[in-house]
Amino acid sequence: MDQNVTQPLVTVRNCRQSYHKEASADLVVLDDVDLTLNEGEIVALLGRSGSGKSTLLRIVSGLLKPTSGDVRWRGEPLRGPAPGVAMVFQSFALFPWLTVQENVELGLEALGVKKDERDERSEEAIDLIGLGGYDTAYPKELSGGMRQRVGLARALVVHPDLLLMDEPFSALDVLTAETLRTDLIDLWMDKKLPVKSILIVTHNIEEAVLMADRILVFSSNPGRVAHELKVPFAHPRNRFDPAFRQMVDDIYGIMTRRAPKEVHVPAAAVPSGFATPLHPVSTNLISGLIETLYGAPYQGRADLPALAAALQYEVDDLLPLGETLQLLGFAALEEGDLILSDIGKKFADAETEDRKEIFTEQLRANVPLVNAIRTVIDQRSNHRASAVRFRDELEDHMSPEYADETLRAVISWGRYAEIFEYDEEAQQFGLEEEDEEEEA
Amino acid sequence: MTNYTPTALAGRRLPNRWDGVALLLVMGLLIALVDVGRGTISTSIATIQNSPIHLDPAYLPYYALRSTARMFAALFFSLLFTLTYATLAAKSRRAGMVLIPILDILQSVPILGFLTFTTVFFLGLFPGKVLGAELASVFVIFTSQAWNMAFSFYQSLTTLPNDLQEASRCFRLSPWQKFWRLDVPFAMPGLVWNTMLSMSGGWFFVVASEAVTVGNTTFTLPGIGSYVATALEQENLRAIFYAIIAMLVLILLYDQLLFRPLVAWSAKFRFETTATATGPEPWMLKVLRRTALFQDIGDFLGGIMRSLTRLRLALPARTQIDENQEPSKLVDGFWFICIALVAAYAGYRIVTFVSGTLHWSDVGTAVLMGGFTLLRVMVLMAIAALIWVPIGVWIGLRPKATRIAQPIAQFLAAFPANLLFPPVVLAIVYFHVMPDIWLTPLMLIGTQWYVLFNVIAGAAAFPGDMKEAVANFHIRGWLWWRKVMIPGILPYFITGALTASGGAWNASIVAEVASWGSTNLAAHGLGAYIAQATAAGDTPRVVLGVVVMSCFVIFINRILWRPLYAYATRRTTLG
């Protein structure tokens, strides 16, 4: 037993997760990731969606086998879900046909625990997590916060050494999420939680700084650990403490920093524009953000954490939006700030029709994929082109999800800019009728 | 009332080579049944002691009980089949490749066409015993119930929510525990709904399978179906009237004691995150839930069930997913070769079985007959649509009328239409009109209600804000039908029409031929073709007829209903 004290709970070395693709190279989701988890600490994996942090969580839980790399649980190679690990899910993952108590007892049943002990332990977990009196309720009768408490109780009842949490509060409203976080931290500080360590996946910067002792910041595409930070503050932490704010600001800076150039694909692929993933952000949102940036109090420059707070956006909502503005030349992201460009200002001043024109210009100039599509349409005698072919080409450069998002973005922007039409039913690009006549 | 996509509408759209393979396998299996049956028949199978059927109405409760018992026996086997077959198909990729197309074919094969094969088989298994006949009858009812139940279960298993699967693995439930904790509960609402539909449809086959003549073998099993058959033989109109009353009572009991409570109970398993308003609790469920005695019984049974399902019964299973592991090409190849060999052998057996007695002209005849039946089905569907769509929409838009009409339509759909044939036949004989035309409506008597209750459901589900918008813009008359109502109810209508037309094909086997005493009426059509071949014991022609009819049904499902349904759901839903 003694040697366990010094031994880390989990070690992950050189972990790599990729999906094999037929035509091109493998799609790398996680690349060369190392992770060590010791007893007594809360570690946060922080990153944007698609950065592979949830994949890493599943690898640590034993649900998923990495393509390569060494994963050890208490020094032993991990082969399947370990008995000392329990997970809390973003979607709660409660069984709607089981009562609160039956849901909580699930893990105990799997362990073959006798009824008396099951009752006792589930009662204990239910009371600890503040669900007393709800034993016989069904999940659908509960609010989101109460449901996640059930999820927590279900994980704690098996007395796991490691508690894994996959964006546990992101499906909850702001106030509920805050209450749950505080309750969890209080229990952790009072040493009332029957766990030795917590690994939490999140895309919420403040949440990570608020809860974790250590934060691993992930970069996307492929997922890598870009930074590791120790959080030096003692619990309970104050969000309005200047040092806290500074740390949040710093992490924003890290997350908006452009990826090093070497990540980019070979130059030959660039001109066609197939290699850049796009976010399907609606044109209304683009206009809205430009207007907001242009007006008071930002006057063309906004601090991202402040902007996120004002708009009630999570990083995952705001960063794609900011990046899209940057991509289209309307704004620039610099060290955690979003700065409107001259074109952005011109756009904000313009009327509806002129805005469309500016947008079209910027789209044509900065998104080569739109031009590529238009070129193919023009080359065809019937002025139609299948979307499937573009999706396939995109998938040579990115994951199917990214390819799908990119295509959706291009379709929506191209339609707005009236560069082409799109027939959803036939999945075909085409031209507007007057355009077609002109061409003919 | 919840609506589920009928299983025949889901899945692949165009016929492909797996359909061909599956068709070969199914037909090969049927012929094998006949062969096995024949092989074991040494004694004459005509020696079954037929207990005479009494037309005295005092016997009817007993007959009704016997018919019901057959129904439940079949239901038991259907459930057993569902839980095993669908699970195997869902859990094993390789098994699924074959099992699912086979299921798809099976649900398009006219059930009454099975009669020949199964009767020969079961009577052969138990020569001269009533048990053989009972099993043959139960098997027919089973074939009318099992396919869509299995399909529904399979579909549920393939759409299990990912997070719950991960939770089960993470908390290390054994496969047995997961099956009862996740798989079955998740599938429950769809399964219960399909089971209830199956049972509703099953009454028809209960009636049809009790008095059977295959070649020179005739058996009559005590039950409502043979009661009617005997009444027809003896030209006893009063007895037929009694049978109809008895059936009405039986269906009413089934509807009130079983159907409604079960469907309401299964709502508990519906996978949704918000509590939805539910209708009033059926009175039977109330009785079961509030009575101490029933509660004790329920707790006792539930306790046994729970401790059974809680057992681990763990087999060494892989719980870690390795996404990089690809299925072995070698094993796949071996598997494909095996399937191809079996299919080829089945094809060879079919050819040798059929070629001795049949010529290409027979295929032509069967297809031509199929054309006649197709024409009938199409005309009937058009007429049914013209009648029931306006009525259904009228009812559906009025909540009060819906509450009254919907249970009645569902009730009528369960009523076995073959009990209503005799009065129509009598009328045809009396007025000397053409059976080719006047036997036709019989095909749709039972199944038209599916059109009605689906249209009602569609109109009732029409969004309130759209109704207001329509009123606000003064949209009326033909424009209202064309732009608002018809698109609004289209997916529902197609669901109903598919069920109704599928049922009509099946019903053609009993509806295109009819008799009253010694008068026999027959219309031209594939149903009559199969029925006459069955009566003559001409198995090759039965096989041919069944194959042709299956092809017609599959083809129409694939090129008409499925694309139409996909189009309707895509076009008429937002998002």
pLDDT tens over chain B, length 575 residues: 344 566 656 555 555 667 777 778 877 777 777 666 555 444 444 445 566 788 888 888 899 888 989 999 999 999 999 999 999 999 888 888 888 888 888 877 887 777 777 777 887 777 777 788 888 889 888 988 898 899 889 988 988 999 999 999 888 888 888 999 899 999 998 888 888 888 888 888 888 888 877 767 777 888 888 888 888 888 888 888 898 889 889 888 888 888 888 888 887 887 765 555 555 677 777 777 777 777 777 777 777 777 777 777 666 565 677 766 777 788 888 888 888 898 888 888 888 877 777 788 888 999 999 999 999 999 999 999 999 999 999 999 988 888 888 788 877 888 888 788 888 888 888 888 888 888 888 888 878 888 898 899 889 888 888 888 888 888 888 899 888 888 888 888 988 888 888 888 888 888 888 877 777 888 889 999 988 888 887 878 888 888 889 889 888 888 888 888 888 887 776 64
Which of B166, B169, B171, B266 should we substitute to test contact with A (largest number of A Cβ atoms within 10 Å)? Answer: B171
Closest CA to A27 of A222, A220, A218, A219: A222
ipTM: 0.80
pLDDT digits (tens, 9 = 90+) for A354-395: 999 999 999 999 998 998 899 899 888 888 888 888 888 888
For residue B73, the model assigns a pLDDT of 92
Distances (CA, A) of B310 to A139, B167, B504: 21, 16, 45
Q: Which domain holds residue B409?
A: 24-313+328-571
Q: Does a structural domain hold residue B257?
A: yes
Contact B86, B102 (CB under 8 A): no
How far off is chain A from B457, nearest CA to CA, in Å? 25
Give the start-end residues of each E strand in B253-292.
none
Q: Is B573 on the interface with A (CB under 8 A)?
A: no
Closest CA to A360 of A293, A429, A283, A422: A283
Give the start-end residues of each E strand in A38-188.
42-46, 68-73, 76-77, 85-88, 162-166
A65 neighbourhood in chain B, CB within 8 Å: 320-324
For residue A269, the model assigns a pLDDT of 40
For residue B80, the model assigns a pLDDT of 95
Q: Is B296 on the interface with A (CB under 8 A)?
A: no
Nearest CA in chain A to B314: A110
- How many residues are recorded in chain B? 575
Instruction: Tell the CATH topology of A283-430.
Output: Arc Repressor Mutant, subunit A (1.10.10)
**Token digits for B53?**
């059927």
The B residues from 185 to 204 touching A (CB cutoff 8 Å) are 185, 188
Q: Does a structural domain hold residue B172?
A: yes
Q: Does a structural domain hold residue B555?
A: yes
In whole angstroms, give the CA distance from residue B559 to residue B517.
42
Instruction: Assign A219 to helix, strand or coil.
Output: strand
Which distant-in-sequence residues (6+ apart) come within 8 Å of B256 by Cβ?
A: B282, B283, B284
In whole angstroms, give the CA distance from residue B50 to residue B53.
9
How far off is chain A from B491, nearest CA to CA, in Å? 17
In chain A, CATH 1.10.10 sits at 283-430
- Which of B170, B318, B322 is facing A86, going by the closest CB pair? B170
In chain A, CATH 3.40.50.300 sits at 10-256
A92 neighbourhood in chain B, CB within 8 Å: 163
Nearest CA in chain A to B266: A97
Q: Does a structural domain hold residue B494?
A: yes
Instruction: Tell the CATH topology of A10-256.
Output: Rossmann fold (3.40.50)
Q: Does a structural domain hold residue B1?
A: no
Q: Is B472 on the interface with A (CB under 8 A)?
A: no
Q: Number of structural domains, chain B?
A: 1
Q: Does a structural domain hold residue B465?
A: yes
- Which of A79, A81, A140 is facing B272, going by the closest CB pair? A140
- Beta-bridged to residue A216, according to DSSP, are A45, A228
For residue A403, the model assigns a pLDDT of 85
Place of tokens 């209202």: B480
Q: Does a structural domain hold residue B106?
A: yes
Chain A: residues touching B (Cβ < 8 Å)? 17-20, 58, 61-65, 67, 79-81, 83, 85-87, 89-93, 95-98, 106-107, 109-112, 138-141, 154, 158, 425
Q: Does a structural domain hold residue B16?
A: no
Distances (CA, A) of B97 to B22, B91, B94, B101, B148: 10, 11, 5, 7, 18
- Which of B171, B188, B274 is facing A106, going by the closest CB pair? B171
Nearest CA in chain B to A78: B320
* Beta carbons of A96 and B270 less than 8 Å apart: yes
Q: Which residues of chain A are modeled with pLDDT < 50?
A: 1-4, 260-271, 440
* Beta carbons of B321 and A62 less than 8 Å apart: no
Q: Give the CATH number of the domain where residue B163 resides.
A: 1.10.3720.10
- How many residues are recorded in chain A? 440
B182 neighbourhood in chain A, CB within 8 Å: 95
Q: Is B326 on the interface with A (CB under 8 A)?
A: yes
For residue B51, the model assigns a pLDDT of 66
**Cβ neighbour number for residue B102 with a 10 Å cutoff:** 20
In whole angstroms, give the CA distance from residue B493 to residue B391.
13
Closest CA to B521 of B434, B461, B415: B434
Q: Write the DSSP assignment of B465-476 as a string of letters.
A: HHHHHHHHTT--
Burial string for B170-184 (b: 16+ CB within 10 Å, else e) reads bbbbbbbbbbbbbbb
**Token digits for B302?**
């539930």
